[in-house]
């Protein structure tokens, strides 16, 4: 995430050009036909606008000065046709560009989601999920805006302006020089505004994402907020962020709208100068007014495209800042790349081994310090020990959420670093400490364990997890919507659905990280029976703080400060008077006085 942040801070004119090139290279070819159609419509808009200004000389001279009634209908018909063509062309380009823009947004949303799924768990541990989601939702439109602004400004505004300038020069080149004399100071001023706006835009995007992130976190943790009466503290915090965002948005508004007084002043000076010059020439020189009216019409019509082009750099810079932040995320490379010759994992006995495994997170001391564990195929191995001993870290290493710093993890003699992650995880079923429910029905959430599972298999898994009865008590049974992260269910119900999801996967290796931690005594006893059935003929790695849940394990591995300190069965370890397991067992014993 730091790499993305560093890249965001450097947006200069060279970066603008490089982002423009990249956006066009990635999207231009796929939409070339649609862009040709849209540009054709924009050309019609530009030429019809210029034609309207050009024909004004004939309107004034022939209809009013020379009183040519025979030409009035022809002139009016031509003007009507020009407006009709411009109307249909404007409609056509707007619809086409909207369809292209919507397709680009959808494409990058899919691409971002796919890319995020490739990044390792460590990335999401470092990045705030709410902040990340807010940034993605705000910035994805930047890609669309870069292309649409470029096309409309080039094909419509620039062509319209050039055409109208051509009309102006053809009608009166002296008046045209008066207009052009004011342009250089305006362009310099606009460039200065644009440079200031880049920095303000970056700051505003980051602050707005913090606002959305803070709100999302508050909603997700609302129970804790209310339980600890944190409303006032969080309200003060969020209000501070909102005030900062408001100030930065106001700064952007001030900078963006500075183009208005600049362009209005330019237009006022140019038009008043032209009118003064033309009026004196007509009064004292007897010059016919037709060319002058045509010139003024072209000048007035040129105002809108000129104003839009004056704002173009400001708008492009804002869009490029957004687009660059998306590309900074897309350019992040997964740290856990598969080897070019990675093969599929082949399961025979499902024997799992850790050999001299050392692991530490990005910052901090080692969590695991030379761990050696053998989990025999088809048997249950329990990991116990005090908090911080490294038990959950081992569970996270087996599916390759992280890779060990040193050592190997083998399944049936195959180093998991040499096999594809998809084939590895396809042989695992996982139940975490904090069961997560996805948007959808209860049936959908169980079926995520194996998408091709039938309804009967889903219900069988629910029965094994002792979830069927409470599911049938729901308003719509298995089709009941669970709400955000299962908000309509109790913690124990969510945990049983999580276990059912693991059971329906029918994988040879089962990972249970405090799988019964959220259950009451009655539910725990029921699920423990279900798990005993599910554990048969599977390799099971189970973590439990309550030792009563692992007394029947084939092997118990006791960990302390990242090392294995004891191994054996419950009966053997419980009899070691000076052993850590015995001390933990005595502390949890109902006769210990605890």
Domain chopping of the chain, boundaries: 2-330, 377-390+420-588
Q: What is the mean pLDDT of residues 188-210?
A: 68
Strand partners, 540: 380, 510
What are φ and ψ of residue 260, in 5° steps? Answer: -65, -55
Query: Distance between CA 560 and CA 451 in Å, rounded?
Result: 39
Q: What is the mean pLDDT of residues 164-177?
A: 79
Q: What is the mean pLDDT of the chain?
A: 80
Query: Distance between CA 162 and CA 586 in Å, rounded?
Result: 89
Ranking 38-52, 88-102, 129-143 by mean pLDDT, the lowest is 129-143
Query: Distance between CA 272 and CA 54 in Å, rounded?
Result: 21
Query: Distance between CA 471 and CA 458 in Å, rounded?
Result: 12
Beta carbons within 8 Å of 207's beta carbon, 6+ residues apart: 241, 244, 245, 248
Alpha carbon 451 to its chain centroid, in Å, reads: 25
CATH top class, domain 377-390+420-588: alpha beta
Torsion of CA 455, 459, 465, 466, to 10 degrees: 160
DSSP 333: P
Query: Distance between CA 221 and CA 214 in Å, rounded?
Result: 11
- The pLDDT, as a whole number, for residue 4 is 42
- The pLDDT, as a whole number, for residue 263 is 67
CB 560 within 8 Å of CB 391? no
Residue 402, token pair as written in the block: 């992280």
- Higher pLDDT pick, 309 / 438: 438
Q: What is the mean pLDDT of residues 34-44?
A: 88
Helix ranges restricted to H, 473-552: 491-505, 521-535
Residue with tokens 């020379």: 66
- The pLDDT, as a whole number, for residue 465 is 83
Alpha carbon 373 to its chain centroid, in Å, reads: 39
End-to-end CA distance of the chain: 46
Choose from 93-102, 288-297, 333-342, 485-494 the range with maximum mean pLDDT.
93-102
Evaluate the CA torsion angle 348, 349, 352, 353 in order and state its sign. Answer: negative
- Higher pLDDT pick, 489 / 433: 489
Q: How confident is the model at residue 16 (pLDDT cuts 50, 70, 90)?
A: confident
Residue with tokens 């394990």: 553
Counting residues of the chain whose pLDDT is more than 70, the rounded percentage is 81
Query: Distance between CA 546 and CA 589 in Å, rounded?
Result: 10
Residue with tokens 């423990």: 528
Torsion of CA 302, 305, 307, 312, to 10 degrees: -150
For residue range 207-264, list pLDDT tens digits in order. 776 777 777 777 767 767 777 677 888 888 888 888 887 887 787 777 766 666 766 6
Of 113, 150, 123, nearest to 28 (Cα)? 150
| Topology classification of domain 2-330 | ABC transporter transmembrane region fold (1.20.1560)
Burial 296-320 (b: 16+ CB within 10 A, else e): bbbbebbbebbbbbbbbbbbbbbbb
CA distances from 325 to 135, 142, 209, 214 (A): 8, 9, 12, 20
């Amino acid at each position: 995430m730091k790499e993305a942040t560093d890249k965001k801070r450097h947006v200069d004119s060279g970066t603008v050009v490089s982002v423009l090139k990249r956006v066009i290279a990635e999207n231009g070819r796929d939409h070339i036909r649609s862009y040709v159609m849209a540009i054709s419509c924009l050309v019609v808009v530009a030429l019809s606008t210029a034609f309207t200004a050009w024909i004004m000389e004939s309107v004034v001279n022939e209809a009013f000065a020379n009183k040519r009634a025979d030409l009035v209908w022809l002139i009016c018909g031509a003007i009507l046709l020009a407006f009709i063509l411009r109307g249909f062309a404007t409609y056509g380009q707007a619809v086409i560009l909207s369809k292209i823009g919507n397709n680009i947004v959808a494409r990058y949303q899919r691409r971002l989601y796919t890319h995020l799924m490739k990044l390792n768990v460590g990335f999401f541990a470092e990045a705030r999920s709410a902040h990340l989601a807010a940034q993605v939702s705000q910035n994805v439109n930047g890609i669309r805006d870069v292309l649409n602004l470029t096309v409309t400004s080039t094909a419509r505004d620039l062509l319209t302006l050039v055409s109208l300038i051509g009309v102006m020069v053809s009608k009166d080149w002296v008046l045209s020089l008066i207009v052009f004399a004011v342009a250089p100071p305006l362009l310099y001023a606009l460039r200065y505004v644009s440079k200031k706006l880049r920095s303000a835009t970056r700051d505003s995007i980051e602050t707005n994402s913090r606002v959305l992130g803070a709100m999302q976190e508050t909603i997700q943790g609302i129970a804790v907020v209310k339980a600890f009466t944190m409303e006032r503290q969080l309200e003060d915090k969020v209000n501070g962020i909102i005030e900062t965002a408001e100030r930065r948005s106001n700064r952007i508004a001030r900078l963006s709208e500075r183009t208005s007084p600049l362009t209005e002043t330019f237009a006022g000076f140019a038009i008043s100068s032209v009118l003064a010059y033309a009026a004196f020439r007509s009064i004292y020189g007897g010059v016919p007014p037709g060319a002058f009216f045509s010139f003024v019409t072209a000048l007035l019509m040129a105002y809108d495209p000129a104003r839009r082009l004056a704002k173009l750099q400001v708008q492009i810079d804002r869009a490029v800042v957004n687009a660059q932040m998306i590309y900074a995320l897309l350019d992040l490379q997964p740290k856990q790349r598969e080897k070019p010759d990675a093969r599929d994992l082949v399961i025979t006995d499902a024997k799992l081994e850790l050999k001299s495994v050392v692991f530490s997170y990005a910052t901090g001391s080692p969590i695991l310090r030379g761990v050696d564990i053998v989990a025999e195929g088809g048997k249950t191995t329990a990991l116990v020990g005090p908090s911080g001993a490294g038990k959950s870290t081992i569970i996270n290493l087996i599916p390759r959420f992280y890779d060990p710093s040193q050592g190997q993890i083998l399944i049936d003699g195959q180093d998991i670093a040499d096999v594809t992650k998809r084939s590895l995880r396809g042989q695992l079923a996982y139940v975490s400490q904090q069961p997560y429910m996805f948007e959808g029905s209860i049936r959908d959430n169980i079926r995520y364990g194996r998408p091709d599972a039938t309804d009967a298999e889903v219900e069988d898994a629910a029965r094994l997890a002792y979830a069927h009865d409470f599911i049938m008590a729901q308003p719509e049974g298995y089709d009941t919507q669970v709400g955000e992260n299962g908000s309509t269910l109790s913690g124990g119900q969510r945990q049983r659905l999580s276990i059912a999801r693991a059971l329906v996967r029918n994988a040879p290796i089962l990972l249970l990280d405090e799988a019964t931690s959220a259950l009451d005594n009655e539910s725990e006893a029921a699920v423990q029976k279900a798990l005993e059935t599910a554990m048969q003929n599977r390799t099971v790695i189970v973590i439990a703080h309550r030792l009563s849940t692992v007394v029947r394990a084939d092997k118990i591995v006791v960990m302390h400060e990242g090392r294995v300190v004891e191994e054996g069965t419950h009966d053997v370890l419980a009899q070691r008077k000076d052993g850590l397991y015995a001390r933990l067992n005595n502390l949890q014993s109902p006769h210990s006085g605890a």
